[in-house]
């Protein structure tokens, strides 16, 4: 379907990657930790190494949760835009296939939220 | 929800003096209607249809009553509206 | 000879028919350029009739009387310090959300109906839309006048229109209104008068205004019920226009069904905010969101669509999901406001013990199991002094613009519901199948969405830090945060002679 409009539509994509000053938007969700309510959004350079996302960016927000210090990153299970994947920590976000407005989800086996509530 | 209540027509009015004769008229003219008092408002509901008759309201207040005066106390309704000089009616089907 | 009074039918006919004319030196299509491009076919506009048969003279008479009553009460409320008689000052959070979220939407509806009041070809429909345009303006004005009294005594009520244009959660109602306004006139009226006003508005006004009465808020009860009497007329117009369109031409049916599906879902998502007002912000709650949903949507909406079935119209798509969500909605919305309570223009607070007992009773399948633990945790953290607000920005749904907080209520209520699609190479995310459907039907429209989180990242919202953004919103430092640390709380304690609490907060 396309939109029905009297005089057509201008081709305006509000969130095209060029509008983010060299960054791309990346969403990150920690599954089974619903205290965060939603996936969190970050503007990040595509050339950022994946390990910087994990060890520098993610802690700024996810350390809010008391289970965060128990996370064993070696065991984390990753999902990128609906597909399971194993990130290469040394490579960049872009090289790992992380696109503008990609959704990265991770699970931490054994850690299922406060008192196992998935919260 | 039971199927029985599926086609309920309702009229909700403010709980005030202007609405009182309308509520009483609905009670008289719709013996099946259920009248519920909630904070600030009165909900009158009836299966199928619900009617407000000018004649009944006028008999209760002892003066002429324009059916459109209902607008002054109306809060909400459900059903197809049929209004003329003598009545205001809500119905389904 | 005394003039004989005409009956209602005759008066309506004389005052709404034969007032237009076939143009001669301009084409009718040039005079009315907007009422054909949507594909709705109208063969006889005279078949359109206002069931109330309201004429302009009667309209002015009754509206004047409603206004006189309302303003007498507003005066009396102010003169008698009505603000001190509320159940609790925390109740004001609901009013703050109302004036910033709903009042600008009334004003937007005024714009829309003014447009229709000019551009529908049929005079009867035009007159009804003109009346509604004036109604909507009246609603915005009376809400501002009434609530201005609270603005003298409480925080967070000072800049509703500015905030409506900027604040992250207010883009939810704003984008819904703009979605309708930027459509053609038939879609606009289907959206506002039918999907919003007929199918869903009872959920906003009836239990909420009754709730205001229940919490000692005479001012809101009065403007709410005064507006609601107009609302009844709008609902009737909404139902009438639907029946009129499907009766005019068989080609209209699928178009209208698609609009009903779309705008039901859009309007329902806006009402997610109302569910939190009703269950959490109202100190005393006469009816839960779930109870209101069962009565006003499942039961009354069911009766409505059963009746419309004879025209071939069906219940809006995804209504089953909306009903399944009724046990979760308010808890999920209030949780996100509490977690981001440093960035709201109203105060947040965990429910009291009494309120939690009420929530357990009203939501036996969900509250204790899924939601009580998080409120108890935050309560404990606040008592210990370890509570912190979430310091990041959530992912938003491309269509409803609500943070993607909704979960798979039918299969796994602790799993966020993620939906996405690609359009012209870009990724787009949705909170639900309902929002995804809306996008996929008109992607060109929703790629233009002004998503508050992305706008902050693009540098369009005053700065990159939370204080800069809040300043750009014109939030005052005392507007948000926890109720028990607030100026409103301290003032409330002062009024009620509780000097200790007034000094220290909780």
CATH superfamily entry for domain C45-504: Ribonucleotide Reductase, subunit A (1.10.620.20)
pTM over 0.80: yes
In terms of DSSP H, where are the helices of chain A? 50-52, 58-62
User: What integer pLDDT is reported at residue C269 of this predicted model?
Assistant: 97
At B23, list the tokens.
């509520």
Q: What count of CB pairs under 8 Å joins A to C? A: 140
Looking at chain B, which subunits does it touch, using at least 3 CB pairs closer than 8 Å as the criterion? Answer: C
Q: Residue C342 pLDDT > 80, yes or no? A: yes
Least CA distance to B41: which residue of chain C? C210
User: Which of A49-53, C32-36, C388-392, C488-492 has the lowest average pLDDT?
Assistant: C388-392
**Of C280, C297, C483, C296, whose CA–CA distance to C362 is shortest?**
C280
Cβ-Cβ contacts under 8 Å, C395 against chain A: 27, 29, 38-41, 103
Contact B76 C228 (CB under 8 A): yes
List chain A domain ranges: 23-116
Read off the pLDDT of each residue in A46-65 and give the average, rounded to a whole number.
96
C318-322: long-range pairs with CB below 8 Å, 24+: C318/C261, C318/C264, C318/C265, C318/C432, C318/C433, C318/C434, C318/C437, C319/C264, C321/C409, C321/C410, C321/C432, C321/C433, C321/C434, C322/C265, C322/C268, C322/C293, C322/C297, C322/C434
C-alpha distance from B28 to closest chain C C-alpha (Å): 23
Q: What is the CATH number of domain B6-91?
A: 3.90.56.10
Alpha carbon distance C438, C436 (integer Å): 5
What average pLDDT is seen over chain C?
Answer: 94
Other beta carbons within 10 Å of C487: 18
Cβ-Cβ contacts under 8 Å, C216 against chain B: none
Complex prediction ipTM = 0.97
Burial class (CB in 10 A: 0-12, 13-18, 19+), A83: exposed
Q: Tell whether C401 lies on the interface with B, counting CB pairs under 8 A.
A: no
The residue written with tokens 């009294």 in the block is C149
**Cross-strand partners of C482:** C348
At C298, list the tokens.
């499942």
At C67, list the tokens.
């206004």
Percentage of chain C beyond pLDDT 90 is: 83
Q: What is the pLDDT of residues C228-259, one digit of tens each?
A: 889 888 998 899 999 999 999 999 999 999 99
User: What integer pLDDT is reported at residue C70 of this predicted model?
Assistant: 92
User: What integer pLDDT is reported at residue C502 of this predicted model?
Assistant: 72
Alpha carbon distance C287, C200 (integer Å): 16
Q: Residue B33 pLDDT > 90, yes or no? A: yes
Read off the pLDDT of each residue in B23-44 and give the average, rounded to a whole number.
94
**Banded pLDDT at C54 (limits 50, 70, 90):** confident
Alpha carbon distance C51, C12 (integer Å): 10
User: Looking at domain A23-116, which of 3.10.20.560, 3.90.180.10, 1.10.3720.10, 3.40.50.300 is its CATH number?
Assistant: 3.10.20.560
User: What integer pLDDT is reported at residue A97 of this predicted model?
Assistant: 97
Read off the pLDDT of each residue in A93-101 and give the average, rounded to a whole number.
98
User: What integer pLDDT is reported at residue B1 of this predicted model?
Assistant: 41
Q: Tell whether A56 lies on the interface with C, counting CB pairs under 8 A.
A: no
Compare C211 and C30 and report the one with higher pLDDT. Answer: C30
Cα pseudo-dihedral C467, C468, C472, C478, rounded to 10: 20
Contact C300 B92 (CB under 8 A): no
Q: Tell whether C143 lies on the interface with B, counting CB pairs under 8 A.
A: no
Read off the pLDDT of each residue in C123-139 and give the average, rounded to a whole number.
94
Beta strand C426-430 pairing with C419-423: antiparallel
Q: Tell whether C306 lies on the interface with B, counting CB pairs under 8 A.
A: yes
Cβ-Cβ contacts under 8 Å, A1 against chain C: 440-442
Which of A15, A23, A32 is nearest residue C451 as measured by Cβ atoms? A15
User: What integer pLDDT is reported at residue C401 of this predicted model?
Assistant: 98
User: What integer pLDDT is reported at residue B2 of this predicted model?
Assistant: 44
Q: Tell whether A22 lies on the interface with C, counting CB pairs under 8 A.
A: no
Q: What is the pLDDT of residues C479-500, one digit of tens each?
A: 999 999 999 999 999 999 887 7
For residue C333, CA distances in Å to C94, C270, C272, C436 come to: 13, 11, 7, 20
Read off the pLDDT of each residue in A22-33 and give the average, rounded to a whole number.
97
């Amino acid at each position: 379907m396309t939109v029905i409009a009297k005089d057509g539509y201008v081709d305006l994509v509000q969130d095209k990657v060029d509008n983010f000053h060299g960054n791309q938007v990346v969403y990150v969700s920690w599954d089974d930790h619903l205290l965060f309510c939603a996936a969190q959004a970050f503007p990040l350079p595509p050339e950022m190494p994946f390990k910087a996302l994990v060890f520098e960016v993610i802690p700024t927000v996810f350390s809010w949760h008391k289970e965060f210090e128990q996370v064993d990153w070696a065991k984390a299970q990753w999902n990128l835009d609906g597909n399971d994947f194993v990130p290469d920590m040394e490579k960049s976000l872009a090289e790992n296939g992380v696109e503008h407005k990609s959704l990265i989800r991770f699970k931490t086996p054994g850690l299922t939220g406060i008192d196992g509530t998935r919260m | 929800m039971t199927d029985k209540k599926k086609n309920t027509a309702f009229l909700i009015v403010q709980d005030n003096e202007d609405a009182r004769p309308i509520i009483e008229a609905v009670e008289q003219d719709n013996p099946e209607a259920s009248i519920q008092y909630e904070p600030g408002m009165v909900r009158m509901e009836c299966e199928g249809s619900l009617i407000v008759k000018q004649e009944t309201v006028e008999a209760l207040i002892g003066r002429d009553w324009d059916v459109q005066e209902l607008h002054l106390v109306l809060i909400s309704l459900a059903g197809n509206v049929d209004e003329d000089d003598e009545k205001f009616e809500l119905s389904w089907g | 000879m005394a003039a004989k009074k005409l009956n209602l039918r005759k008066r309506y006919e004389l005052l709404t028919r034969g007032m237009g004319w076939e143009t001669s030196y301009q084409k009718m299509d040039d005079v009315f350029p907007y009422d054909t491009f949507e594909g709705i076919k109208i063969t006889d506009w005279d078949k359109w009739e206002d069931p109330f048969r309201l004429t302009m003279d009667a309209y002015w008479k009754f509206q004047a009387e409603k206004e006189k009553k309302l303003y007498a009460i507003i005066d009396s409320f102010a003169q008698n310090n009505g603000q001190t008689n509320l159940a609790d000052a925390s109740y004001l959070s609901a009013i703050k959300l109302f004036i910033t979220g709903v009042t600008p939407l009334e004003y937007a509806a005024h714009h829309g109906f003014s447009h229709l009041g000019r551009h529908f070809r049929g005079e009867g429909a035009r007159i009804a839309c003109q009346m509604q345009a004036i109604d909507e303006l009246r609603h915005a004005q009376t809400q501002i006048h009434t609530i201005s009294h609270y603005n003298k005594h409480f925080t967070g009520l000072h800049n509703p229109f500015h905030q409506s244009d900027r604040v992250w959660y207010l883009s939810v109602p704003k984008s819904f209104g703009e979605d309708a306004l930027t459509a053609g006139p038939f879609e606009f009226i289907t959206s506002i008068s039918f999907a919003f006003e007929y199918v869903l508005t009872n959920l906003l006004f009836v239990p909420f205004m009754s709730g205001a009465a229940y919490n000692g808020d005479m001012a809101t009860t009065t403007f709410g019920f005064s507006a609601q009497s107009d609302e009844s007329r709008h609902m009737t117009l909404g139902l009438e226009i639907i029946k009129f369109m499907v009766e005019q031409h068989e080609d209209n049916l699928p178009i209208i069904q698609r609009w009903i599906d779309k705008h039901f879902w859009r309007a329902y998502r806006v009402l997610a905010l109302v569910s939190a007002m009703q269950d959490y912000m109202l100190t005393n709650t006469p009816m839960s969101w779930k109870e209101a949903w069962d009565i006003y949507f499942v039961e009354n909406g069911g009766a409505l669509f059963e009746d419309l079935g004879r025209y071939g119209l069906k219940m809006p798509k995804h209504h089953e999901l909306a009903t399944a969500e009724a046990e979760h909605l308010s808890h999920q919305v209030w949780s996100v406001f509490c977690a981001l309570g440093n960035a709201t223009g109203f105060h947040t607070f965990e429910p009291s013990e009494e309120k939690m007992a009420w929530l357990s009773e009203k939501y036996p399948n969900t509250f204790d199991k899924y939601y009580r633990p998080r409120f108890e945790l935050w309560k404990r953290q606040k008592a210990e002094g370890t509570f912190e607000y979430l310091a990041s920005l959530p992912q938003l749904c491309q269509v409803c613009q609500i943070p993607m907080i909704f979960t798979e209520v039918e299969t796994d209520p602790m799993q966020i519901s993620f939906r996405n699609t690609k359009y012209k190479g870009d990724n787009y995310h949705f909170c639900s199948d309902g929002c995804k459907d809306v996008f996929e039907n008109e992607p060109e429209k929703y790629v233009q969405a002004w998503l508050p989180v992305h706008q902050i990242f693009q540098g369009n919202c005053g700065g990159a830090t939370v204080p800069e953004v809040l300043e750009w919103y014109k939030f005052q430092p005392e507007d948000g945060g926890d109720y028990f640390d607030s100026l409103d709380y301290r003032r409330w304690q002062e009024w009620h002679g509780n000097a200790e609490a007034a000094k220290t907060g909780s």
